[in-house]
Amino acid sequence: MFERADKTIRERLQKLEIHLQNENPLLLDAVARFKKLDRVAYRMGLLDGSESYATRIPWWPLISILGTFSAGKSSFINHFLGDRLQRTGNQAVDDKFTVITYANREESQVLPGIALDSDPRFPFYQMSDEIDKVSPGEGRRIDAYLQMKTSNSEKLKGKIIIDSPGFDADDQRNTILRLTDHIMDLSDLVLVFFDARHPEPGAMQDTLEHLVADTIQRNDSEKFLYILNQIDTAAQEDNPEAVVAAWQRALAAKGLTAGRFYTIYNDEVAVPIEDEAVRQRFESKRDADLAEIYQRLHQVEVERSYRIIGALDSIAHDIENECVPVLENALSRWRQTFLIGDGIAFTLIAGLLFAAGQVMDVSSLFSFDFSNAWLTSVIKLAVIASVIATTHFAVRRITAKWLVRKLPASTVAGNLKTAFLKSTGMMRSVFQKAPAGWNMLSRRTLENVEIEASELIQVMNDRFTNPSGDAAAPARTEAPSVAPVTNEPQRDSAEDKTAEKVATP
């Protein structure tokens, strides 16, 4: 029984706790609650000893940059970091997903995709297996799809940025789509870039379908920001607003009617705008939009902290209200199927024994000469009991394996298949209605975790809000002062740094 985490997972959790001890003690408390959920899941079979709920979620905030080729994604990243990290140009310059992380060294390093595929602390862990599902054999070429870069930009501390290749790639498209879906699921903030220099959004229906229509129905759709970049090129048009309007209509046609839509450009590579009034109008709109985008980038650490604590409540709720009912229903069906199958098997065995008794003396099946008649009877009964028991457990296994195929392999709360097979094991009575490991102690543990998660949320609220307006209010997290027309990294205020240290996992 996997009731305890194995050595590897314990070591990983210890390293996480050491990191959080300095970065965010509040989330250190969250790790302890995840361990409580783990113990319930081990007893139920939802997790095995090599897994933990704490390692299934990213503890570092993730920001994904998606979009079409030459939409200015890399230039935006360089501008935000104040570091010319990513190559830029009018043609496709990066055909890989690049995970950008902080490193305390001036010189940037580029690491191969295997560094991400083999390290559970980063996104794309074991992504080679997912690639193989789309294109068999391609998982071995993980370095052709992924890479990791380091930067010592202070803006990158406590977060990870993922730069994607151009979305409208023809080669390896299915794999790119799978990886894109993966990072959208993991990310706390997704910036979707479009290129204003190509004002024909109608020709990009497939791209718009995946990056807009498929995202607005998500429960976390608020994390998507849609950005029309390099809008300075429209200043030369007789009616520059028509370019923006065309994109807005294209996005609205895909269902985006209420989301955030921004128009920006990079002043360093912008087309000169001769008309002073037009230039001021464009700069004013760009600066306002960049300030709002940067504010969301700055707040992502706080949002990740809330998401992690929220995951405690979500997992505890799913175990009790999703997994347990599914397992109870599956056990009920299995019990009925097994009893019918067991009854049929027992009837067949009884019929065969009766027929054998009519044809020959059953005692003659034994070649031994026993002096005591009772010993012969005991052996007869032992053989019959052995046949019945073997058939009984065979029917038990066969019916369980037949029904387990109808269960989903994996959910947020764990593996229902393994939990079901554990509940139908030989050591459990077929008449037990509750799944293995589900009892009053487990229920109480989940209730306590949900209560404790609510308390942690309240503590977070106390740190970042002050409804009463008391003088001794905790520091709020404010967006850093943004001067988007320069290429220098912005310096956070002391108040911002204090809030960031509290919020960064």
DSSP assignment string, 254-287: TT-SSS-EEE---GGGPPP---HHHHHHHHHHHH
In a domain, 377, yes or no: yes
Structural domain harbouring 379: 328-430
Q: Each residue of 257-271: pLDDT tens digit?
A: 555 788 888 877 777
Contact 181, 167 (CB under 8 A): no
Residue 305 predicted with pLDDT over 80: yes
pLDDT band at residue 1 under the 50/70/90 scheme: very low
Q: How far apart are alpha carbons 453 and 440 in whole angstroms?
A: 20
Q: Each residue of 36-65: pLDDT tens digit?
A: 999 999 999 999 888 899 888 878 888 999
Residue 2 predicted with pLDDT over 50: no
pLDDT band at residue 339 under the 50/70/90 scheme: confident
pLDDT on residue 484: 36
Q: How far apart are the first and last CA of the chain?
A: 33
Q: What percent of the chain stands above pLDDT 90?
A: 17
Contact 67, 167 (CB under 8 A): yes
pLDDT on residue 181: 79
Residue 298 predicted with pLDDT over 90: no
pTM over 0.85: no
pLDDT on residue 417: 92
Three-state DSSP state, 494: helix
Q: Which residues touch 163 (CB under 8 Å, ≥6 apart)?
A: 65, 73, 74, 77, 86, 94, 97, 98, 100
Residue 380 predicted with pLDDT over 70: no
**At residue 254, what is the residue type?**
K
Helices (H) and strands (E) in the chain, counts: 14, 8
pLDDT on residue 373: 59
Q: How far apart are alpha carbons 199 and 242 in whole angstroms?
A: 9
pLDDT band at residue 367 under the 50/70/90 scheme: very low
In a domain, 333, yes or no: yes
Between 59-73, 193-207, 326-340, the lowest mean confidence (pLDDT) is in 193-207
Q: Which residues touch 300 (CB under 8 Å, ≥6 apart)?
A: 61, 63, 159, 188, 189
Residue 370 predicted with pLDDT over 70: no
Residue 12 predicted with pLDDT over 60: yes
Q: How far apart are alpha carbons 286 and 267 in whole angstroms?
A: 10
Enter the DSSP assignment of 229: E
Mean pLDDT over 25-30 rounds to 82
Contact 296, 253 (CB under 8 A): no
pLDDT on residue 476: 43
pLDDT band at residue 461 under the 50/70/90 scheme: confident
pLDDT band at residue 172 under the 50/70/90 scheme: low
Q: How far apart are alpha carbons 212 and 201 in whole angstroms?
A: 12
CA-nearest of 401, 398, 416 to 327 is 416
Q: What percent of the chain stands above pLDDT 70?
A: 74
In a domain, 279, yes or no: no
Q: How far apart are alpha carbons 45 and 51 in whole angstroms?
A: 11
Chain mean position to CA 176: 17
pLDDT on residue 154: 85
Mean pLDDT over 240-246 rounds to 75
**Residue 131: both structure tokens together:** 């690639």
Strand partners for 227: 193, 262
Mean pLDDT over 460-464 rounds to 82
Q: How far apart are alpha carbons 211 and 227 in whole angstroms?
A: 12
Identify the residue with better confidence: 387 or 146: 146
Identify the residue with better confidence: 473 or 441: 441
pLDDT on residue 5: 62
Strand partners for 65: 163, 191
**Residue 395: both structure tokens together:** 């029917």
Q: Each residue of 280-292: pLDDT tens digit?
A: 888 898 999 999 9
| E-assigned strand segments in 250-382 | 261-263
In a domain, 197, yes or no: no
| E-assigned strand segments in 106-186 | 110-112, 146-151, 160-163
Q: How far apart are alpha carbons 40 and 33 in whole angstroms?
A: 11
Residue 463 predicted with pLDDT over 50: yes
pLDDT on residue 492: 40
Three-state DSSP state, 47: coil
Three-state DSSP state, 190: strand
Please state, rounded to an integer, the average pLDDT across all residues of the chain. 77
In a domain, 231, yes or no: no
Residue 424 predicted with pLDDT over 50: yes
Identify the residue with better confidence: 447 or 260: 447
In a domain, 355, yes or no: yes
Q: What is the DSSP string of 52-106?
A: -GGGSS-SS-EEEEEESTTSSHHHHHHHHHTS--S---SS----SEEEEEE-SSS
Q: How far apart are alpha carbons 109 and 103 in whole angstroms?
A: 9
Q: Strands 110-112 and 97-102: what pairing? A: unpaired
Residue 107 predicted with pLDDT over 80: yes
Q: Sheet of 160-163: strands edge to edge?
A: 110-112, 146-151, 97-102, 160-163, 62-67, 189-195, 224-229, 261-263
Q: Which residues touch 115 (CB under 8 Å, ≥6 apart)?
A: 122, 148
pLDDT band at residue 187 under the 50/70/90 scheme: confident
Residue 132 predicted with pLDDT over 70: yes
pLDDT band at residue 386 under the 50/70/90 scheme: confident
Mean pLDDT over 16-41 rounds to 84
Residue 169 predicted with pLDDT over 60: no
Mean pLDDT over 72-99 rounds to 76
Total number of domains constituting the chain: 1
Identify the residue with better confidence: 144 or 476: 144
Q: Each residue of 197-238: pLDDT tens digit?
A: 765 555 455 666 666 666 666 677 788 888 888 888 777 766
Strand partners for 67: 193
In a domain, 426, yes or no: yes
For the chain, the 3-state helix, strand and coil shares in percent, each to the nearest 5, are: 55, 10, 35
In a domain, 387, yes or no: yes
